């Protein structure tokens, strides 16, 4: 997701997407440890998406 797409989401949707991304990252790390990871670049993409979501959520809290 791009930053603009994340900003367009409501606070609840952002939180929900954050939880989903964290679960996906956990599953990818488990697959990686087991040697079953098909797309290793996916881990990096999810980590960056998590950082984007957290940054945007923090920006929104600072504006309040």
In this predicted model, what pLDDT tens digit does every residue of 21-44 receive, in sequence order?
999 999 999 999 999 999 999 999
Measured between alpha carbons, how far is 50 from 28 in angstroms, rounded to an integer? 14
* Domain span at 49: 3-63
Q: Read off the CATH number of the domain in which 7 is found.
A: 1.10.287.310
pLDDT of residue 49 exceeding 90, the answer is yes
pTM as predicted: 0.88
The residue-averaged pLDDT of 51-57 equals 96
Instruction: Report which of 29, 55, 56 is spatially closest to residue 42, judged by C-alpha positions.
Output: 29
31-51 b/e with 16+ CB inside 10 Å = b? Answer: beeeeebeeeeebeebeebbe
- Number of folded domains that form the chain: 1
């Amino acid at each position: 997701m791009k930053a603009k797409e994340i900003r367009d989401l409501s606070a609840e949707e952002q939180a929900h997407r954050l939880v989903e991304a964290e679960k996906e990252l956990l599953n990818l790390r488990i697959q990686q440890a087991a040697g079953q990871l098909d797309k290793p670049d996916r881990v990096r993409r999810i980590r960056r998406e998590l950082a984007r979501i957290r940054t945007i959520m923090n920006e929104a809290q600072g504006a309040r």
